Structure 1
Amino acid sequence: MTSSLSRFVEDIRAVVPVAGRAIQVEWLPNGRTTLVFRVIEEGRKGDVHVAGPRTRALFKDAKGVAQAVMLQFKPGWSAPLLGVAANALTDRTVPLEEIWGRPGSDLCQELLAARGLPEVLDRLSHAFALRAQQTSEPASARLARRAVRLLEGDEVRVESVAERLGVTARHLRRAFAESVGIGPKDFARSVRLQRAVRRAATSKDWAHIAADAGYYDQAHLIADFRELVGLTPGAFLKRARDRGVRSGSGEAGAGLHDTTERRRIG
């Protein structure tokens, strides 16, 4: 990952379909906003979209996509770089042109004209470096990122996080909405869900997985899965096995089908 991108991007994925099959993805709640550049089959056509943080899982087949490059922003960075509050993108996928106007369309054409992945990344790095110079980082974004580190660490109660940061729970909720796109409680739920999915890749002891991931008990885990994913944990893993999905990474917000070749950059 280039140094300028590493400041505000935590993961980059290049994805192409194999065996003539569509890219299949599953977006699980993880409190991240992702920029997606797609090259469409049938000529040098493509688009750039912003996928906002999700409160519920989304399963999708990306038919007709020859290649996709996904940049997952660090929490708290999408708002100043994109110029729109993170909660305006929650559970939405929006064309970058709709957010940036003409510069968004111009960036897409530059990416389509790039000769290979390194040049795509260079052009994205340049575009976001310019945006970073032209915008100031609000204090709410810094506060949200500090809270994210605590919630992804060992702190699970929002009130305790707010107290440790010296702010009210209401102030923390407002900062999260603007800078992350979901509330701190929803973010904490997504952290538990991601932990459970990762642990389920190597264990079938759901009671132990639930305790390890931060749930009250196994019933709590199952209820959260039903609400956030729309499936029980067992049904989710069976679906993943049947489709060959590598789940549990949380990387770029998506698990990718085994007929998808993916390359992590950086």
Structure 2
Amino acid sequence: MTNVTAAMDLPALALPRHVEDVRAVAPLPGKAFDLEWLPDGRTTLFFRALEGGRKGDVWVAGPRMRAIIKSKTGLARTVILRFKPGWSVPLLGVAASELTDRIVPLEEVWGRAARELCGELLAAGSRADVMDRVARALALRAGQSFETASGQLARRAVRLLEGGEVRVERVAGRLGITARHLRRAFIENVGIGPKEFARTVRLQRAVRMAATSCDWARIAADAGYYDQAHLIADFRQLLGLTPGAFFKRAGGRMTRPKLITSEFPLPVP
């Protein structure tokens, strides 16, 4: 389900069915833009306009298995679109595995179409206009390709894993395929294997639960871990921190870009 608040006031056409989440950020002039990215098995599109409004770029971030922290100054605005898992092939034209743990210019994937899109986004006068142009570009790409059977299979498996199923073997059985077949579909369309994806699902559940609870044993059980030690090991390996250290740094919550409600400024002539 696409996650957009009413405060964004975006038209319906700006939210393609392939997009799960939209974030718009306008840092204060001269201030750094910090983004803490947790592993979640998603591919993300970034548009960045530099201060002054004349230059910018568009990047693609593939699914990650370890957290990453980015800090950048000199940005006027940033729009972040997170795709639903399993849409890299029809939207980007490449297997998701080619983007795993990578952040690359969209131009490396789309060529001239990416340069043209960046120019259109820099010329956009409002947030709604930015989203409209991105939506049209994505719709064009999706219309030129087709949904593969492996892509549909991977997306069905994603829904099962995020819906509460914790064992990959049971997911494969419910889909009537082997675990090996499921892994091939996941690698191509999601970018990581189903067991690795299930691991990010557990981590995300634990992070959400820990925002309102300090009972780590209960959180571990409810999130799908074997025990509390299993949870702590995953935090160390995926985030590089113990649960306590992570939430102390994050102020007790996931640090994600805040939505803004004001219109983007017009480009400087």
Q: Do these two structures clear the TM 0.5 threshold for a shared fold by scoring above it?
A: yes
Give the drift of 1:263.
3.7
Match of 1:8 among 18, 34, 46: 18
Distance 1:246 1:207, change over 3 A: closer
Cα deviation, residue 207, structure 1: 0.7
The alpha carbon displacement at 1:191 in A equals 0.3
Alignment of 1:215-254 (within 5 A): 215-241=225-251, 246-247=253-254
Q: Is the 8 A contact 1:192 1:213 kept in 2?
A: yes
Residues 38-57 of structure 1 mapped to structure 2, 5 A cutoff = 38-57=48-67
The separation in 2 between residues aligned to 1:206 and 1:246, in whole angstroms, is 15
**Which of 160, 167, 173 does residue 157 from structure 1 map onto?**
167
Contact 1:18 1:261 in 2 (8 A): no
How many residues align? The count is 251
1:199 is matched with 209
Q: Alpha-carbon deviation of 1:19?
A: 7.2
Structure 2 residue runs without a partner (length 5+):
1-9, 262-269
- Partner residue in 1 for 2:150: 140
Bigger drift between 108-117 and 4-13 goes to: 4-13
CA deviation map 1:49-69 (0-9, x unaligned): 001000110012122222110
Cα deviation, 1:144-170, whole Å, max 9, x if unaligned, reads: 000000000121111110010011111
Shift of 1:135: 0.4
**Paired residue type of 1:97:** E
Identity %: 68
Letter of the structure 2 residue corresponding to residue 34 of structure 1: T
RMSD: 1.6
Q: Is the Cα contact below 8 Å between 2:14 and 2:128 reproduced in 1?
A: no
Provide closer, same or farther for how the CA distance between residues 201 and 113 of structure 1 changes in structure 2, counting only shifts above 3 A. same
Deviates more, 1:11-20 or 1:42-51: 11-20
Which of 81, 97, 100 is the equivalent residue of 1:87?
97
- TM-superposed CA distance for 1:189, in Å, is 0.4
Question: Normalized against structure 2, the TM-score is what?
Answer: 0.89
What corresponds to 1:107 in structure 2?
Answer: 117
User: Matched residues in 2 for 1:111 and 1:42: separation?
Assistant: 14
Q: How big is each residue's C-alpha offset from its partner over 1:2-50, in whole Å with a ceiling of 9 and x where there is no partner? A: 3473311111110111374211111111010000000111442110000
CA contact 1:155–1:161 (8 Å) conserved in 2: yes
Distance, in Å, in 1 between the alignment partners of 2:54 and 2:45 is 19
Show structure 1 runs of 5+ residues with no match.
248-254
* Higher RCO (Cα < 8 Å, 6 or more apart): 1
Show CA shifts across 1:67-119 (max 9, x none).
11011101111221100100100111010001111111111001101111111
- State which drifts further: 5-14 or 46-55: 5-14
- Whichever structure has more strand as a proportion of its residues is 1
**Structure 1 residue 63 and structure 2 residue 73: aligned?**
yes
